[in-house]
Amino acid sequence: MTVTAPEAAPYFDITDPDFSITSAAVHEARERSWYARTNYGLAVLRYEEVSRLLKHPKLRQGSAAWPAHNGVTEGPFAKWWASWVLNKEGEEHHRLRRLMNPAFSHKLIAGLVPRFQALAAELINGFREPGRCEFVSEFAEPYAARVIAIMLGMPESEWRVIARESATIGLAMGVTIRQDLPKIEAALAALYAYADELIAERRREERDDFVSALVRAQRDSDRLSADELRDGLVLLIFGGFDTTRNQLGLAMQSFVRHPDQWRLLAERPELGGRAVEEVMRVNPTTRWVTREAHEDFTYQGLDIPAGTTVHLFTESAGTDPRVFGDGAFDITAERKPHFGFGGGAHHCLGHFVARSDMSEALPLLARRMRDPRIEDGAEWLPDSGNTGPIRLPIAFTPAT
Amino acid sequence: MKVIVDMAKCQDHGQCAIAAPEVFEMNEEGRLVYDGEPGEERRLEVEEAADVCPVQAILIKD
Ligand code: HEM
Ligand code: SF4
């Protein structure tokens, strides 16, 4: 075993606006050391170590304290945040997960595939110009929001509410959370009102759908309480929308860089699933997954004191030459799994949905949008913890 | 009932241990250990574990 002395570890200021988490500097650091130090604790850079630490029993999910760190300790937002399955640990977490998991099973999701296909086709048919689109507002955003509307059995025409209110709640991830709190809490109230109505409808009359499955969810004699149901539904709206939108935008970016792979996907739509995995390996929207040490421990000779924040760098792990060799983007390759959905007890609850909807969308896009090019005017979120395009104008050759 | 986990596929996510804690368990190092021949009364839980495994590594044989 090689042990890297602490002073030899690379250092990154991850709050510097010029820091890029997928930069050559990060990749070079990965070749010197399995971890780096940052102004927010440790960054883990290599595949094997990311894989182990993601599920390490001494680490817990690292997001729970965010609002409190920023002075938000009470009120509806703080309460909702604390209710998240992501922010619970141990038996409290497992209980929620047990109750929610069955509604997310791939068997139930499979029934939605024809809706996903129809939705993708409708959006592409609706592009304002024949050989050009703004991919985020004309595809990724409505697709991600309407998939959630489909899951929740809401009228798809109301997707803009999902998009708008989720974006406002997203302000809570920023350092201006306190100033934004009134807006955030208004958006939260709007989504609660939707959730309450969806639940009330299912209580009046059961349906064969996702929300009914959650309302019915039962394990031994335990069920989700009324509060848990509405908190959970609002979390699903919030947690499923931005991520899917951003990941679709990043998929487009990856394929613009690899036109041969895009043509291959158009010819072989059955590669849709593999395409999603390959994009998430090299271009994941969740660029880091956060953990926090709940006890002192030593890992590979490195002492990690309780309270240390640990960021697992997903792109750096996904392009680690120790595991992926030269790792050329290839949607036909058999690969080890990526970490774009996190892992361990907190592994993304919605991954079967996200995998299924994206693997339907991408081949259809590849068939209809030949030779895509990114035009001037693209805008991006910083290349940091969560990323993706804000605007992505694409020119292409239309095909049927 | 016979349960087989494809250990080449398994990524130690532990979702099975959440779904069926009597049959699947994560050890001190966070690695999966499991009972390959659980009683018939565990069938529902084990089916749920197989369903929920993110990498679909769990096989139930009769
Ligand atoms: C491309 C789309 C998506 C990406 C990239 C993504 C990514 C993630 C990641 C990285 C985590 C944290 C895992 C960890 O800490 O190890 C997570 C957790 C979670 N995701 Fe997703 N997600 C996506 C879509 C969805 C969807 C569609 C839903 C629901 C409809 C969803 C619901 C959740 C929930 C509830 C959790 C918390 C699970 C827990 O703590 O047990 N996600 N996701
Ligand atoms: S859920 Fe699947 S991957 Fe995770 S420990 Fe169980 S068998 Fe392994």
pLDDT digits (tens, 9 = 90+) for A164-212: 999 999 889 887 889 999 999 999 999 999 999 999 999 999 888 899 9
Contact B26 A101 (CB under 8 A): no
Size of interface A-B (CB pairs under 8 A): 50
- Which pLDDT does position A15 carry in this prediction? 86
Q: What is the mean pLDDT of residues A233-237?
A: 94
Say how many C-beta atoms besides its own lie within 10 A of residue A208's C-beta: 8
A244-296 pLDDT per residue, tens: 999 999 999 999 999 999 999 999 999 999 999 999 999 999 999 999 999 99
Residue A169's closest CA among A242, A273, A70, A71?
A242
Distance of alpha carbon A282 from alpha carbon A340, whole angstroms: 9
- CA pair distance A366, A230, nearest whole angstrom: 38
Confidence label for A108 from pLDDT (cuts 50, 70 and 90): confident
Reported residue count of chain A is 400
pLDDT at A7: 59
Q: How far is the CA of A235 from the centre of ligand 1 (A)?
A: 10
How high is the pLDDT of residue A219? Answer: 80
Q: Give the CA radius of gyration of chain B.
A: 10
Burial class of residue B3 (count of CB atoms within 10 Å of its CB; 0-12, 13-18, 19+): buried
Task: Examine residue A315 and state whether it is found in any structural domain, yes or no.
Answer: no
Model confidence at A17, pLDDT cuts 50, 70, 90, reads confident
Domain presence at residue A9: no
Q: Indicate if the pLDDT at residue A384 is higher than 90.
A: no
Instruction: From chain B, pick out residues whose CB is under 8 angstroms from the CB of A276.
Output: none
Per-residue confidence (pLDDT) for residue A264, from 0 to 100:
98
Whether A48 maps to a domain, the answer reads no
CB A375 within 8 A of CB A394: yes
Q: Of A115, A133, A126, which is closest to residue A357 (Cα–Cα)? A: A115
Cα–Cα distance, A37 to A47 (Å, whole number)? 17
Query: Is residue B48 within 6 Å of ligand 2 at its C-beta?
Result: no
Task: Report pLDDT for A183.
Answer: 96
* Spatial distance between the Cα atoms of A295 and A306, rounded to a whole number of angstroms: 4
Band (pLDDT 50/70/90 cuts) for residue A4 is low
The DSSP annotation for A26-93 comes to HHHHHHH-SEEEETTEEEE-SHHHHHHHHT-TTEEES-TTHHHHTT--SSHHHHHHHH-GGG--HHHH
Residue B62 banded pLDDT, cuts 50, 70, 90: confident
Q: Is residue A220 part of a domain?
A: yes
A52 chain-B contacts, CB cut-off 8 A = 30
- Given a cut of 90, whether residue A5 has pLDDT beyond it is no
- Give residue-wise pLDDT tens across range A57-92: 999 999 888 898 889 999 999 999 999 999 999 999
Please give the structure tokens belonging to residue B46: 């084990």
Give the CATH number, domain containing residue A73: 1.10.630.10
Q: Is residue A246 domain-resident?
A: yes
Give the integer Cα–Cα distance in Å for A80 and A230.
10
H/E element, A223:
strand A222-223
Can you read off the two tokens belonging to residue A49? 């170590």
Nearest CA in chain A to B19: A98
Q: What is the overall mean pLDDT for chain A?
A: 94
Is the residue at A193 inside a domain? Answer: yes
Q: Which two tokens stand for residue A248?
A: 């679709």
| Average pLDDT of the segment spanning A98-110 | 90
CA A66 – CA A10 distance, rounded (Å): 26
* d(CA B2, nearest CA chain A) in Å: 22
Identify whether A344 is part of a domain: no
Report the distance separating Cα A295 and Cα A298, nearest Å. 10
Hey, how many other C-beta atoms are within 10 angstroms of the C-beta on A336?
13
Task: State both tokens at A5.
Answer: 């002395």
Residue A170 belongs to some domain of the structure: yes
Domains in chain B: ranges and CATH: 2-61 (3.30.70.20)
Among A279, A271, A243, residue whose Cα is nearest residue A354: A243
pLDDT at A2 over 60: no
Nearest CA in chain B to A350: B54
Q: What is the mean pLDDT of chain B?
A: 95
The pLDDT score that the predictor gives to residue A131 is 95
Q: Give the integer Cα–Cα distance in Å for B13 and B54.
A: 8
Identify from A91, A94, A277 which residue to disrupt to test chain B contact, counting B C-beta atoms within 10 A and taking the largest count: A94
pLDDT at A374: 98
- How far apart CA A128 and CA A137 sit, in angstroms, is 11
Number of helices (H) and strands (E), helices first, in chain A? 18, 15
Query: How many domains are contained in chain A?
Result: 1
Query: What was the ipTM of the complex prediction?
Result: 0.95
Q: Is it the case that residue A106 has pLDDT exceeding 90?
A: no
Ligand nearest to the CA of A347: 1
Q: pLDDT digit string (tens) for B17-39? A: 999 999 999 998 899 999 999 99
Residues B40-44 have a mean pLDDT of 95
Q: What is the mean pLDDT of residues B33-59?
A: 96
pTM of the model: 0.95
Query: A114-162 pLDDT, tens per residue?
Result: 999 999 999 999 999 999 999 999 999 999 999 999 999 999 998 999 9
Residue B45 has pLDDT above 90, yes or no: yes
CA distance A20 to B11: 28
Report the SS3 class of residue A297.
Answer: strand
Residue B57 Cα to ligand 1 midpoint, Å, equals 20
Q: Which two tokens stand for residue B31?
A: 């690695």
Whether residue B60 has its Cβ less than 6 Å from ligand 2 = no
The model's confidence at residue A217, banded by pLDDT at 50, 70 and 90, is confident
* Residue A3's pLDDT band (cuts 50, 70, 90): low
Domain that holds residue A262: 67-297+350-398
